[in-house]
Structure 1
Amino acid sequence: MSEHHDPLMSTAQPEAGRRRFFRLVGAGAGTLAAGTLPLVSPQAFAATNHVMGEPQPAFALDPSILYMNVGTTGSTPVHLLKAFDDYNREVARNPRETLGGTTPMRQAIAAGFGCETEELVMTYNTTDGMNKILAGVELNAGDEIITTNHEHPGGNGPMNLLAWRKGVVIKRVELPVGNNQTAQDYVNLFAAAITAKTKAFVFSAPTFLTGTMLPYKRLAMLAQQNNIMTIVDGAHATGMFNIKFHETGIDFWGCSGHKWQCGPGGTGILYIRNRVSSFNPRPLFNFWPTNTNNTALTGPRTNANAASYQIGTRVQSIGNPNYPMLKVLSECCTWWDEIGRAAIEAHDLALSAYLKQKIAQVWGTAKLYSPMGDPELVSALTSFNPFHGPSLALAAGSGAATAESAQSSTFVERLRTQYGIVIRNTAVPVPGSTAAHHPVRISTHLFHSTQDVDRLVASMRELTKLMLAGR
């Protein structure tokens, strides 16, 4: 494989694992034009510039479909699909086979996520992790959770259960939408909602509705200053971002294994902070292991027993798990580590910035529901509407709201059936509008290229013109 000698490229930048990945992925990773992505640092941008050798299929994606809905689910790499089949056959041949057990699997991936083995649990999806967290923290009648109006049902469900069964108070801050946002805006919203009864922040980073990456480090600092625990729905963080859990300062992360991380369906990553550090010097709040074989035997993890309490092992223990599925998740995570999580993040975000710039050129920044101006808020999820922007006021139950929803659904369906491109739309609460807006949501991942983005934008532009002309 020939190397691309970009003047921005550090001579120490191309790791062997990353070179091997981009040789495998072939034409699936693109070359970005220098100077077009001001939101990405020169070092990170340089990591996305490649010249491909002969392509080998790293992923089994249908070549006739441009799949850009990784935010719903990813694609497991080909070599791990083979391993999955082998592991299942091994367990079927010997049903007592554990493939080494889950502890070595967690040990293999903990360093890549910047945490200790005993802080990590391989779960069955983000919802599973969020339920384990919210069922295990000590929250009682009158205690307040500050959350947002952009949360996923996987977090809303267990929060609502706490409200219904225990009398916990749920307070929702109304998030801004569009490109006119700053990281400090979110800190101010949460800070204004704090009272003496506030016990937890629960928020998504990034949000699944617009892809806004909430400033979790700033919010973690705010929480620490006010003796508040932090719980993050990170369904789109693992596999997209180079997340180092300790360095986030967050207490709990519930994350996905099958979206951007591209593990098998029904996999997730759960982080439970079990260490104090300069990033979070406060002891963890008392936490009860939930959905575990060990609950009746151990009691809660407290400050007194933190050093000896193996929280990850206790929460991981649920009887007989799906060992092949969890082993493939572990191996997918170590493959990400070999490629380089920083390089993957740089690639994903650079493509997202490239897409946002294309959208701004064709439709204008006023049509964006995702921020692009503050680098702290960007992710590889891009949300926009080719027909209107967040400034449109829609009344709940009105004909205009019904028409807007139908128009968005038609756009997504026609893009799939007529152009072979798969994206999705979402229902976004927008300040000043009593009815939700329905922008489309696009994922740019490591198996995408600038050519894919160009094809998408050209197709959406043509379809927009057709629909506006009534065709």
Structure 2
Amino acid sequence: MTRSDTVALEAPTAMPMDTSRWTNKRRDFLRMMGYGAGAAALGPMLMACGSSNSATQAETLRAQLVADEAFWTNVQNMFTLNPAKTFMNIGTAGSMPKQTLDLFDTENRKKAAESGNGYSNLLDLRKLAAPGFGVDPDELAFSANTSSGMCHAILGIPWQAGDVVVTTNHEHGGGLTPLNIAKDRYGIEISMIPMPVGNNQTAATYQNLFDERIRSLKAAGKRVRAVMWSSPTYKTGTLLPIAEIMQVVKQHELISIVDGAHLPGMMDYNYGELGMDFMSGAGHKWQCGPGSTGILIMRNKIRASNPLPLPKWYPVHTSSYSTRERTTNGTETFDIAASVTSCGSVHTPMFQALVNACQLWDSIGRKKIETYDLTLSAYLKEKVVERWGIGALYSPKDDPKLCCALTSWNPFRNPADVMDSVKSAAFVSRLQAEYPQGLIIRNSGFEVIGAANQHYAMRVSTHVWHDANDIDALVNAMWDLSGKMA
């Protein structure tokens, strides 16, 4: 579920285009596409999906990216990234825009000059950020990062011995760690679903996997209490479909906990409409806020999107605690997000800067950013298919409900080399060291059904400071390096 975007920047066709640094080949491509003579604006990635001709599909996606290039050049100029490197690991860390850096510096100096404290639940800032995520201020808390938010969500639930939490075998430690604490402390059980990988999946595939596992556990007499999943999985970039899994959650009347580390700043989601109980995301990745910031969405009222009673929950790290029972209707009883945000004196400039980045995203248009990120990723996937074949992809490409801006694949000419962790790490290092673009990506290890050992694939993040040329350079360099390492 997405909202319509709000583009406060000028429309791309109204912006002057700086072509001084472009190659002749690039200018020829623009002339071929008719840029400036009625070329279509950037269209959704979905328009190109489903074609069996990956070369044609790639050309279509590239044309969409080029058609809006002037707009994104203006966006790219908002950042201070080192031009000697190409940063394609936003899934680990983003970069603050210049205006956010300036505000952070100003507020830090003001705080130092006035000997300011941070005793606050930051309601004024939460009011500014919440609309961009489709929730009310009492439902949006600021946390230290995704892992912090997952600890708040999971360890605040009053578990009983024998409660079962259904999750996957592709989860991050940020979610698995508090689950394991709850296992040892309260006696809960963790049931992991093995995740299929690659393009031969649909949203229904994952929806059915969760439904079948829950039904199987119930048939065995187990008390299933909650479902926890990553959307997307950080290992393969598979966007486990929130709306479809939420249908399963509501049918079985369960608590829903989403590790959405990569969602804020990448996807334009209305969390009130999606209806999950908890979604923990990062402020410092795709949202491009400072480090040590996160966003925790906490359902705090009954909406049509989720008519289930609100789960009992207690704060575990706070200076704010209400003993009142939570609401049974559409009006909150108290500000539950304050209990997460307020814990002693917080460093307010960090969250002022985070909100500044959120407002910048709102002004650009979250839908526009999502569309651009996904189109870059779709173009990358098609280029991967052209060089390595569709079997090399661990990320889905043809079901748009499963696609995000993380792309994972096996780059090795000998496919079995993907199980060599040392060789995989060397690939990442050499890609940055031996190619002039200074390409920075990461690898990730994960289980593959039927494989004897973990696979260590390459994972690439495509975001607002990239363009089609960056992807072309990446694919060419990775293809060249895979030949050298064959």
Sort the TM-score into its range (normalised by shorter chain): 0.7 to 0.9
Equivalent residue runs for 1:187-336 within 5 Å: 187-194=207-214, 195-196=217-218, 197-295=223-321, 298=323, 301=326, 303=328, 307-336=332-361
Paired amino acid for 2:101:
L
CA distance in 1, matches of 2:327, 2:153: 15
Q: Cα gap change, 1:455/1:220 in structure 2, threshold over 3 Å: closer, same or farther? A: same
Corresponding position of 1:416 = 432
> Quick one: which of 167, 170, 177 aligns to 2:190?
170
> Quick one: which of 408, 414, 439 aligns to 2:457?
439
- RMSD (Å), alpha carbons: 3.2
More divergent stretch after superposition (429-438 vs 150-159): 429-438
CA distance in 1, matches of 2:273, 2:329: 24
Deviation, 1:406, is 1.6
Does 1:110 pair with 2:118? no
C-alpha contact (below 8 Å) 2:118/2:344 kept by paired residues:
no
CA distance in 1, matches of 2:80, 2:283: 18
> Quick one: which of 378, 392, 404 aligns to 1:353?
378
Paired amino acid for 2:484:
L
CA distance in 1, matches of 2:17, 2:87: 15
Equivalent residue runs for 1:36-55 within 5 Å: 39-41=45-47, 49-52=67-70
C-alpha contact (below 8 Å) 1:126/1:268 kept by paired residues:
yes
Unaligned runs of 5+ in 2: 34-38, 49-60
Deviation, 1:388, is 6.3
Number of residues of Structure 1 aligned to a counterpart in Structure 2 = 446
**Is the partner of 2:412 in helix, strand or coil?**
coil
> Quick one: which of 37, 40, 59 aligns to 2:79?
59
CA distance in 1, matches of 2:5, 2:94: 27
Q: Cα gap change, 1:388/1:432 in structure 2, threshold over 3 Å: closer, same or farther? A: farther
Q: Cα gap change, 1:151/1:100 in structure 2, threshold over 3 Å: closer, same or farther? A: closer
Does 1:124 pair with 2:144? yes
Deviation, 1:48, is 7.6
Corresponding position of 2:481 = 463
Corresponding position of 1:90 = 110
CA offsets, 1:334-373, max 9 Å, x none?
1100100000000000000000000000110100111112
Identity across matched positions, percent:
40
> Quick one: which of 83, 89, 93 aligns to 1:69?
89
CA distance in 2, matches of 1:23, 1:322: 38
Deviation, 1:104, is 0.8
Corresponding position of 1:386 = 411
Q: Cα gap change, 1:228/1:14 in structure 2, threshold over 3 Å: closer, same or farther? A: closer
Deviation, 1:192, is 1.4
Corresponding position of 1:133 = 153
Deviation, 1:37, is 8.6
C-alpha contact (below 8 Å) 1:287/1:302 kept by paired residues:
no
CA distance in 1, matches of 2:17, 2:143: 28
Paired amino acid for 1:262:
C
TM-score between the two structures when normalised by the length of structure 2: 0.85
Deviation, 1:300, is 6.2
**Is the partner of 1:289 in helix, strand or coil?**
coil
Corresponding position of 1:16 = 8
CA distance in 2, matches of 1:24, 1:413: 38
Deviation, 1:413, is 0.6
**Is the partner of 1:184 in helix, strand or coil?**
helix
Q: Cα gap change, 1:245/1:84 in structure 2, threshold over 3 Å: closer, same or farther? A: same
Corresponding position of 1:404 = 420
CA distance in 2, matches of 1:369, 1:38: 22
Q: Cα gap change, 1:13/1:79 in structure 2, threshold over 3 Å: closer, same or farther? A: closer
C-alpha contact (below 8 Å) 2:265/2:361 kept by paired residues:
yes
CA distance in 2, matches of 1:357, 1:436: 25
Deviation, 1:290, is 2.1
Unaligned runs of 5+ in 1: 1-11, 393-399
CA distance in 2, matches of 1:276, 1:302: 8
C-alpha contact (below 8 Å) 1:66/1:422 kept by paired residues:
yes
CA distance in 2, matches of 1:429, 1:388: 20
Q: Cα gap change, 1:303/1:286 in structure 2, threshold over 3 Å: closer, same or farther? A: farther
C-alpha contact (below 8 Å) 2:5/2:368 kept by paired residues:
no
Deviation, 1:129, is 0.2
CA distance in 2, matches of 1:384, 1:309: 46
More divergent stretch after superposition (78-87 vs 191-200): 191-200
C-alpha contact (below 8 Å) 1:367/1:388 kept by paired residues:
no
More divergent stretch after superposition (459-468 vs 115-124): 459-468
**Is the partner of 1:425 in helix, strand or coil?**
strand
CA distance in 2, matches of 1:143, 1:351: 42
CA distance in 2, matches of 1:318, 1:212: 34
**Is the partner of 1:16 in helix, strand or coil?**
coil
C-alpha contact (below 8 Å) 2:239/2:403 kept by paired residues:
yes
Does 1:449 pair with 2:462? no
